[in-house]
Every structure is written in structure tokens, then in C-alpha cells.
């Protein structure tokens, strides 16, 4: 992970309130992945995704995903001048994202990772064998390798909120 | 965590096989059996796995402990852990910190295997890294299947008793096998590596977000100040 700087002043307090007040989609359970694949509404799983769901199943809630469309605010990252997608992952204590490699749709652009709160013990992000700790809200990292194995877990005592931004590879 | 060395050759193949194949016991559901079961004073009160003492038995135990030398390490340790046997004990209260954070304290967070759960005793061939003479030794295995968690916590202990705590994986590191001590995650270890807690009172926790099970031997020792029948 490449550290790019801190953008704490850019984060609005109201965003945090909004994220905490909206539950979001319980992933993967509420995505009905198997049903969507069967109905042809979703592309088949890539290898890493298949491996994760083979071990963990698709019928549990690992974490909450809050996509831009379900939140009352929009963002314009000051470090970007490209088209992008964004979402927030919210993990309550005990929730996690198993280690995995991202799918092909993330290979064209860049991926950014920004915690919306200061680090707390038990808030863990693993990127290959590196753990990102002791960060403060607004710290920004870029994935150096889009195929890196990564995963996250909250074994702390408060929710963990991460903003994720992925560029599409197209300029505005 | 201080790295001590690799002692995989000390692990007997039959021990390893038993640890890997044993399903273990769901924690914290079985926490009643936790350290109290190893304590020479408390163990006589524990007849089976899920036993809860009657109030009379519990009161008698406390009376016996109160009558013993309160400066003795074993007695102090026993007193701290005697609440595991309290028939009035409520898990929500004991695990209040986890409960308040939103954890389901009754969930299957990880698996525990203690001395009484396996057919061998590691002290029959004491670990070469352990200075075990005149020490009270406690050991157990924690096993984590993918998705198992152990929230961040500080182990309960008397700060006046000098305790050594060792952490020894019996499975090789795999990405997603996470052991966090304060702000550090231990990675890239091999089965048989031994680490010692530099601060036994450090915050720590573990999780398996990988794709295969993880098994860890944990050992604590502290000096005993009188001769007891320690089994």
C-alpha cells in the first residue's frame, strides 16, 4: 500500500452520521448471489470469489456495504481527476471480509482506501502480509498491486468505517 | 512479542494429528472450564465439563481460599479465577465489554482444547524453551476455523504475579491468520515458532479470515512459592 497523504479536513462529520444511521446491504447474504447468478443477473464468480464463498458460504452477513446510491451525500475526492466509483464498508465488532483478490473490474483503474475514523485496536486491514495500523481519519492509501490478497476484520469494540474509491481508467 | 526460536521438532506427530483432528470445544460457551480447571486448588471442585457448583460448594471454596496464605501466588491466582465457578455468574456481566460492543457472547467464537481434552500432556516432555521447574504451568490450544474470532482483550491476571506467556502456532502461517498484539500483527511464522509476550498485560486478539484452520498452543507459567500437588 502506498501512502498518499491525509485528507481529514475533507471528511464531513455528517457523512459519518449518515453512514452510521443507514444499515446498508449485508454482504454477501443480502446480495442473493447464487440466485442472481442462476437468473443470469450477475456474472459468474471469479476464482478468488468462488474460493471465498466455498469456505464461508453466501448466506451470512460478513459486513455492511454502503454504495453511493444508498447514501444522502456524494463525494468528489480532491486527489482525483478521473471517473470513479465509491462505496463505504462498515464493520461492526466481529465482522470481517475474508482474504481475497479483487475481480477483473478493478484491474483497469486505481483503488484507494481511506479510513473515516482514527485507528482503534482490533481494526485490522491486511494487504498481503502488511497490516495497516495507527492511522488517523483521512489517511489515504493506494493499492500498489490490484491483484494483492487483502482482507479486513473488526475485533475491536466500535464500528469500523472505510471509504473505498476505485477509478474506472477513464478521464473526466 | 519476542521471538524465541523454532521448536517444531519438539512437537510429536501424534500430538499434532490429535490437535488438528480434534474439533475442540466452543468458546466462550465452555469458559467455565477455563483456567480454573488447571488450578490445583480449584480443580477438585470441577467434576465435569459444564459443572456449576451449588451455592454451598462455592461458598465453601471461597472460605477455603480465604483461609489460605493470601501472599501465595497459587492462592492469589485461584482467587482471581474462582469466579468462573460462581453459580450466580452471568456471562453478559463477565463479558460486559464484548456484550456492549455488540458481540454475541454465546456465539461459537473459537475452539478450546485443554489438558483434560487431549490424550497427551506436553509436560511429560516439557517444551525445551520453557523454564518449568518450580513453576505453575497452564497450557491450552486455541483452534480457529475460517470466520472464528477472538476479540481484543487483556488477560485477567494479578499484576503482582510475574507471568510468562508463550504463543506457539502448530500450523504454518496463511494469509488471513491474524494474531494482533497491541498494534502489531504477527505474520509469516512457521509451525513451531515460539513467541513470548513482552508485556503479559498487552491488548491482543485473533481471527481467522483465511481459508484453512489455525491451531495455536498457548502456555503461561508463574513461579510457585510452596509445594503443591500440581497436576
Pick the more confident residue, B228 or A38: A38
Supply the pLDDT for residue A119. Answer: 96
The reply to whether B159 and B79 lie within a common domain is no
Supply the pLDDT for residue B44. Answer: 67
Q: Any CB–CB contact under 8 A between A129 and chain B? A: yes
The reply to whether B94 and B200 lie within a common domain is no
Q: Give the bridge partners for A3, in sequence order.
A: A141
The reply to whether B168 and B221 lie within a common domain is yes
Supply the pLDDT for residue B230. Answer: 40
- Residue ending a domain, among B106, B135, B153, is B106
The reply to whether B115 and B190 lie within a common domain is yes
ipTM value, please give it. 0.89
Interval A50-69: pLDDT, tens: 888 889 988 889 999 999 88
Interval B104-160: pLDDT, tens: 877 788 998 888 788 999 999 999 999 888 888 889 999 999 999 999 988 877 777
Interval A78-115: pLDDT, tens: 999 889 999 999 999 999 999 999 887 767 789 999 99
Supply the pLDDT for residue A15. Answer: 96
Residue-number span of the structural domain to which B63 is assigned: 30-106
Chain A CB contacts of B209 under 8 Å are 96-99, 126, 151-153
The reply to whether B201 and B113 lie within a common domain is yes
Burial grade of B213 (CB within 10 A; 0-12, 13-18, 19 or more) = middle
B150: CATH? 2.60.120.10
The reply to whether B182 and B225 lie within a common domain is yes
Contacts across the A-B interface (CB distance below 8 Å): 94
pLDDT at B227 over 50: no
Domain count, chain B: 2
Q: What are the distances in angstroms from CA B103 to CA A158, B24, B28, B150, B153?
A: 10, 21, 11, 10, 13
Interval A119-167: pLDDT, tens: 999 999 999 999 999 999 999 999 999 889 999 999 999 999 999 999 9
Look at residues A65, A162, A63 and name the one whose alpha carbon lies nearest to residue A116.
A162
The reply to whether B97 and B153 lie within a common domain is no
The reply to whether B139 and B80 lie within a common domain is no
- Residue ending a domain, among B54, B89, B106, is B106
The reply to whether B36 and B115 lie within a common domain is no
The reply to whether B34 and B23 lie within a common domain is no
The reply to whether B123 and B12 lie within a common domain is yes
Q: Any CB–CB contact under 8 A between B103 and chain A? A: yes
Q: How far apart are CA A96 and CA A83, in angstroms?
A: 28
pLDDT category at B29 given cuts 50, 70, 90 is low
With a CB cutoff of 8 Å and minimum separation 6, the contacts of B106 are B28, B29, B91
The reply to whether B5 and B36 lie within a common domain is no
| Contact call for A93 and B176, based on CB within 8 A | no
- Residue ending a domain, among B45, B77, B106, is B106
Amino acid at each position: 500500500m502506498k501512502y498518499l497523504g491525509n485528507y481529514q479536513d475533507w471528511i464531513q462529520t455528517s457523512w459519518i452520521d449518515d453512514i452510521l444511521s443507514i444499515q446498508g446491504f449485508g454482504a454477501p447474504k443480502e446480495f442473493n448471489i447464487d440466485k442472481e447468478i442462476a437468473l443470469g443477473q450477475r456474472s459468474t464468480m471469479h476464482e478468488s470469489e468462488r474460493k471465498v464463498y466455498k469456505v464461508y458460504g453466501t448466506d451470512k452477513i460478513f459486513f455492511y456495504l454502503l454504495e453511493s446510491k444508498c447514501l444522502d451525500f456524494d463525494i468528489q475526492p480532491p486527489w482525483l481527476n478521473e471517473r470513479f466509483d465509491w462505496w463505504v464498508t462498515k464493520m461492526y465488532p466481529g465482522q470481517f471480509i475474508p482474504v481475497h483478490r479483487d475481480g477483473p473490474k478493478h484491474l483497469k483503474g486505481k483503488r484507494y482506501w481511506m479510513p473515516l475514523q482514527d485507528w482503534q485496536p482490533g481494526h485490522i486491514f491486511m494487504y498481503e502480509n502488511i497490516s495497516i495500523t495507527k492511522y488517523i481519519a483521512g489517511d489515504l492509501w493506494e493499492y500498489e498491486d490490484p491483484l494483492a490478497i487483502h482482507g479486513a476484520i473488526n475485533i475491536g469494540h466500535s464500528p469500523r468505517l472505510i471509504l473505498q474509491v476505485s477509478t474506472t481508467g477513464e478521464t473526466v | 512479542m519476542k521471538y524465541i526460536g523454532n521448536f517444531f521438532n519438539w512437537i510429536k506427530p501424534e500430538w499434532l494429528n490429535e490437535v488438528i483432528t480434534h474439533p475442540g470445544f466452543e468458546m466462550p460457551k465452555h469458559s467455565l472450564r477455563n483456567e480454573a480447571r488447571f488450578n490445583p486448588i480449584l480443580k477438585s471442585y470441577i467434576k465435569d465439563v459444564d459443572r456449576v457448583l451449588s451455592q454451598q460448594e462455592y461458598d465453601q471454596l471461597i472460605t477455603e481460599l480465604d483461609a489460605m496464605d493470601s501472599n501465595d501466588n497459587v492462592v492469589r491466582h485461584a482467587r482471581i479465577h474462582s469466579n468462573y465457578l460462581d453459580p450466580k455468574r452471568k456471562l453478559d456481566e463477565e463479558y460486559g465489554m464484548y456484550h456492549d460492543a455488540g458481540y454475541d457472547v454465546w456465539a461459537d467464537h473459537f475452539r478450546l482444547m485443554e489438558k483434560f481434552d487431549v490424550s497427551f500432556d506436553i509436560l511429560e516432555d516439557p517444551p525445551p524453551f520453557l523454564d518449568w521447574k518450580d513453576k505453575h504451568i497452564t497450557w491450552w490450544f486455541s483452534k480457529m476455523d475460517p470466520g472464528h474470532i477472538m476479540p481484543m482483550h487483556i488477560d485477567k491476571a494479578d499484576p503482582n504475579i510475574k507471568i510468562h506467556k508463550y504463543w506457539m502456532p502448530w500450523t504454518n502461517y496463511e494469509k488471513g491468520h491474524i494474531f494482533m498484539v497491541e498494534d502489531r500483527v504477527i505474520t509469516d511464522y512457521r509451525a513451531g515458532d515460539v513467541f513470548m509476550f513482552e508485556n503479559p498485560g498487552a491488548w491482543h486478539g485473533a481471527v481467522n479470515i483465511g481459508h484453512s484452520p489455525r491451531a495455536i498452543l498457548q502456555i503461561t507459567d508463574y513461579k510457585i512459592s510452596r509445594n503443591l500437588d500440581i497436576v
